[in-house]
Chains A and B, each alone.
Chain A
Amino acid sequence: MPLTSQPIDTSIYTTITAAIRSEASRLFTAGEVVAIIGYAAARRVGSAQPIIITNAADAEKLIFTHACVNNLAVYLTKAKKEIPKTGKIGVVVKGCDLKALVGLMGESQLKREDLYLIGIPCNGVLGSTVQPATALTTESIASKCCDCNSHLPTGCDFVPNVALPPGLQMESRYSVEIARLEALTPAERWAYWKEQFAKCIKCYACRQVCPFCFCEQCLCDRNKPQMVDTTPRPAGNTAWHIVRAMHLAGRCAGCAECERVCPMDIPLNLLNRKMAKELKELYDYEAGFEVNDKGPLTMFTEKDDQSFIK
């Protein structure tokens, strides 16, 4: 029996938009930042897109709506071509995006003192922006927002002062799906993922959008030796997705951008959430809450579980 779709209150986003505009304007006027990465309205009604502004006059372009789905952290690492090289950068972050920034700081990719964080009290964004004018409901909301534990980002330099409307109880779509798959036999799971990976066209959009895929030379592009088959064939696709999930284990905090941008609708974040769940169970580690010197797979304790080792 499917739940009936319930509307989600996004009225605070208007107040937030006003607040980030005035803060942006103040920052440029005071000379505190040289650029701000945020969201602006795009051409289609209701849609939004990332924007980099460098002066107070452009502050008016900034918005925040439930169509502001992108994780802007990626503009601070590999997509930073248009970002000034020196000076403090302001960045608009939702709670989920902030986790990525926290992870990147732990991996020496960013320094906190180089950033001015404009945190967004967020009540959820759309799962798909194919129809950006859609209202936010318990059905149209992104899967990652269903069990969000960071509506209010902490440790930011500026957070608009708004009261978050009481959250709606939604079932965690990932947990349900992980549990469903875990209950299957290995052969059934293999069949499931085989079908999913068969769809892959190796466009690498998932890699491109991921804030943690910041390697300049991806292991999967190497040909001497060829560690992973690069052709868009089932064997290579499967290998790519396994390697990708392994490399993100303990680092991915679940912004789900990979899944959003996948043109073939492969449930990529499902793999990431599964790994996060395992690392939480094994080592009580959750990515993205504090800047950690070491992640779960770059540290150990002598008492770590070894029940699987003979």
Chain B
Amino acid sequence: MHPENQKHDFEPKIIAFVCTWCTYAGADLAGTSRMQYPANVRVLKFPCTGRIDPVFILKAFQQGADGVLVSGCHPGDCHYIAGNYHARRRFAAFRKLLEFIGVDLGRLAFSWVSAAEGGKWVEVVTDLTEKVRAMGPMVEFKALALEEQWSGAIDTPELQEAYDAI
């Protein structure tokens, strides 16, 4: 039975940042091969993983993504010689930062999926979707976005009074 035929209480939003030469083509191959995977993923195409800015991941979480996938060519296979190597370092550092800030790294996946690996694309997307589904919604950034309060805690009666008077 396909996972997508089941009914779930929570359908996570998954954003995938992929390179056009390997992973996008791999996802195309999954389509041409009529493989099936959960419909939660939305794919953003980049020329190369080297183009993917950590800010995009941040932005995706802020925009309500529950999980983010970054995927490109295997090492040595980069269409642009070395873009994926640069990306590998960039994201090795960035995920450490997010982890330190308190983002659960279960929501952020990285993979190499080549143009020949339609099956791996399905596996990677399905795994992330199911994992994030089990984790529940990513509430942290959404909660922040809802907070209107100006910076600084209102922690004295005087401040509270002044605030109420506004």
Are B104 and A186 in contact, with the CB atoms below 8 A? yes
Which chain B residues border A283 with CB–CB below 8 Å? 89
Are B55 and A306 in contact, with the CB atoms below 8 A? no
Are B89 and A238 in contact, with the CB atoms below 8 A? no
B45 CB within 8 Å of chain A? no
Which chain B residues border A305 with CB–CB below 8 Å? 92
Q: How large is the interface on B (under 10, 10 to 19, 20 to 34, 35 or more residues)?
A: 35 or more
**Which A residue's beta carbon lies closest to that of B93?**
A249
Q: How large is the interface on A (under 10, 10 to 19, 20 to 34, 35 or more residues)?
A: 35 or more
Alpha-carbon gap, A199 to B97, bound state (A): 20
A191 CB within 8 Å of chain B? yes
- A271 CB to nearest chain B CB (Å): 7
Which chain A residues border B152 with CB–CB below 8 Å? 198-199, 201, 264
- A248 CB to nearest chain B CB (Å): 10
Say whether, besides A186-B99, A234-B147, A304 and B92 are in contact (CB < 8 Å): yes
A250 CB within 8 Å of chain B? yes
Are A227 and B59 in contact, with the CB atoms below 8 A? yes
Secondary structure at the A interface, as helix, strand, loop or mixed, is helix
User: Which listed residue (A186, A193, A198, A310) contacts B112, Cβ 8 A?
Assistant: A310
Most chain A beta carbons < 10 A, residue from B85, B100, B104? B100
Secondary structure at the B interface, as helix, strand, loop or mixed, is helix
Say whether, besides A199-B151, A243-B55, A308 and B101 are in contact (CB < 8 Å): no
User: Which listed residue (A193, A228, A233, A301) contacts B55, Cβ 8 A?
Assistant: A228
Which chain B residues border A297 with CB–CB below 8 Å? 86, 89-90, 93
Alpha-carbon gap, A293 to B52, bound state (A): 23
**Which B residue's beta carbon lies closest to that of A245?**
B97
Are B85 and A304 in contact, with the CB atoms below 8 A? yes
Are A282 and B93 in contact, with the CB atoms below 8 A? yes
List which A146-163 residues lie within 8 A (CB) of chain B. Answer: none
B31 CB within 8 Å of chain A? no
Say whether, besides A233-B147, A235-B144, A279 and B93 are in contact (CB < 8 Å): yes
Chain B positions within 8 Å of A, measured between CB atoms, are: 54-55, 58-59, 62, 75-76, 82, 85-86, 88-105, 109-112, 124, 140-141, 144-145, 147-153
Given contacts A238-B101, A278-B97, A308-B92, 18 further A-B contacts (CB under 8 A): A193-B102, A198-B151, A201-B152, A234-B147, A235-B141, A235-B147, A237-B151, A239-B58, A242-B101, A245-B97, A249-B97, A264-B152, A297-B86, A297-B90, A300-B86, A304-B92, A306-B75, A310-B110
Chain A positions within 8 Å of B, measured between CB atoms, are: 181-182, 186-195, 198-202, 219, 227-229, 232-235, 237-239, 242-243, 245-246, 249-250, 264, 271, 274-275, 278-279, 282-283, 296-302, 304-306, 308-310
